[in-house]
Chain A
Amino acid sequence: MRKSNPSKGFVTVASKRKQFIMGADNLKESILDYYPEAKITLFTEQRFIDDPECQSYFRDFDQVIATPAGTEREKMWGMANSPYDLTFYMDADIEIRHEDIKNVFDHLEDGKYDMVYVNLTKEGADHFAEWNWGPNLYDDGWRGVPDHLAHCGGVTLYDSRNPLIKEFMMDWYTLHLKQKDESWNPPEYDYIESDSFKRWDQLTLWWLIYHCPKYKSLKWNFFKDNYRWNYFTSFGFNKDGTHNCSIVDPTRDYWKSVDEPVVVHFSSWMDKFGNKGFL
């Protein structure tokens, strides 16, 4: 039985470099611009929490919680340890641009879904360093396990009232660390020739969603207004300020009727400063 009136909040994670804390501070402020009563938790390293120079960034966060380590993927630990029942996780290089952020938790449809993701489309694939390793592409109508990164981990909406969700996020964290040091290499990875995929936390997410028996019961969905919830700046904005969802997401039609993106992702900015990854 899921708790009624769940708590709701946002989580972001900043590790390794101070610039990420600056980004997280900006993300928090941009949420509060549209949603003043929002609860936002920052996960960061203890050394930053103890640093007097960083204190000004922590203002107006609901909680600032120390991560156990300083890897570039402490985000999954933060996701697993969200203090909220319903959580919208966002990377720290994101900015909120629309008041619909207030309604993000509605996408979980009151317990109908455990997790909601942005779907990485074939037409958007040029904007990612690598995307697929085989012919089974969702956008071409194939079914089953896709041979590409379908779920974007840059933002994740989830409902921790299902206890499996916390375990899912913690497995995402621990398995990715093992994947990186090559102490975990599931048989499904044997079909992926490009080794670069095997460094990604995105591939761990793919495995957990499609191949891990423990999580088969989890109910997930993609945002119906997909890229509004993670619009990469490389998709570009036109001179009149309009977005390019019609180009990168042609099989959906939300962009015909809805407003501009809610979440804008400045992913290249982060790459300038640290080993963020590829998406």
Chain B
Amino acid sequence: MKKEWKHPFWETAAKDRMTARLNITHDDGSFSTSVARVSKFDANGKVSPDWEEILDQNSTEEIDEFTEQRLERHKNQREATIKKQQDQNEAKRLEDLFNYKLQTFEIAEIKESTNRKLKAKIRKAKNVVEMTAYATILLMEKYNEEIKSE
């Protein structure tokens, strides 16, 4: 039987526990693989044979490097997840804003208005507050026209 300990990394800052992939090639030629968590000391307080075997196959520097790489990988994954969520939120906000704009253009006075300048400002609004503000100005303009004509 051949045991290979691959890519071990420290589980603790004290470096008294590791996780590694254990590949075993059995005497009959079959192969098995598993992820093993290995403590430095066994129940009797002695350094465990697995621990020694891992260190025979991997230097402390290599384990440090695997540990750093793993931390970096996980940090990048977390950042990517956060970024993806932020992107989704922003896309949803833009889609919602687009929907609100189309609803705003459904208001009869705005729809029929020929004030392209103000309508363009509504369309280019970056948020709902800005959009509402310009829509209100346009409606006020219409309202004032009505008052004057009465």
Contact = CB atoms under 8 A, between A and B. Distances in A.
Interface of A: 19, 22-23, 25-26, 29-30, 32-33, 56, 95, 97, 233-237, 241, 244, 266, 268-269
29 contacts: A19-B102, A22-B105, A22-B106, A23-B102, A25-B105, A26-B101, A26-B102, A29-B116, A29-B119, A29-B120, A29-B123, A32-B116, A33-B120, A95-B123, A97-B124, A233-B94, A233-B95, A234-B88, A234-B91, A235-B87, A236-B86, A236-B87, A236-B90, A237-B94, A266-B94, A266-B95, A268-B91, A269-B98, A269-B99
B112 interface: yes
Interface in B57-92: 86-88, 90-92
B111 interface: yes
B44 to A, nearest CB: 52
Contact of B95 (A25, A32, A235, A268): A268
A268 B102 CA distance: 15
Main secondary structure of the interface of A (DSSP, over half): helix
Contacts of B112: 56
Contacts of A237: 90, 94
Nearest to A267: B95
Contacts of A25: 105
B76 to A, nearest CB: 14
A171 B116 CA distance: 39
B74 to A, nearest CB: 20
Lowest 5 A-B CB distances belong to which pairs?
A236-B87, A33-B120, A234-B91, A233-B94, A236-B90
Contacts of A268: 91-92, 95
A25 B86 CA distance: 30
Contacts, number: 51
Given A26-B123, A234-B88, 18 more contacts: A22-B105, A22-B106, A26-B101, A29-B123, A32-B116, A33-B123, A95-B123, A97-B124, A233-B94, A233-B95, A234-B91, A236-B87, A237-B90, A244-B87, A266-B98, A268-B91, A268-B92, A269-B95
A97 B92 CA distance: 18
Contacts of A266: 94-95, 98
Interface in B110-150: 111-112, 116, 119-120, 123-124, 126
A22 B124 CA distance: 17
Contact of B123 (A19, A22, A23, A30): A30
B79 to A, nearest CB: 13
- Tell me which of A233, A235, A237 has the highest count of chain B C-beta atoms within 10 A of its own C-beta: A233
Contacts of B94: 233, 237, 266
A21 to B, nearest CB: 11
B105 A236 contact: no
Nearest to A241: B126
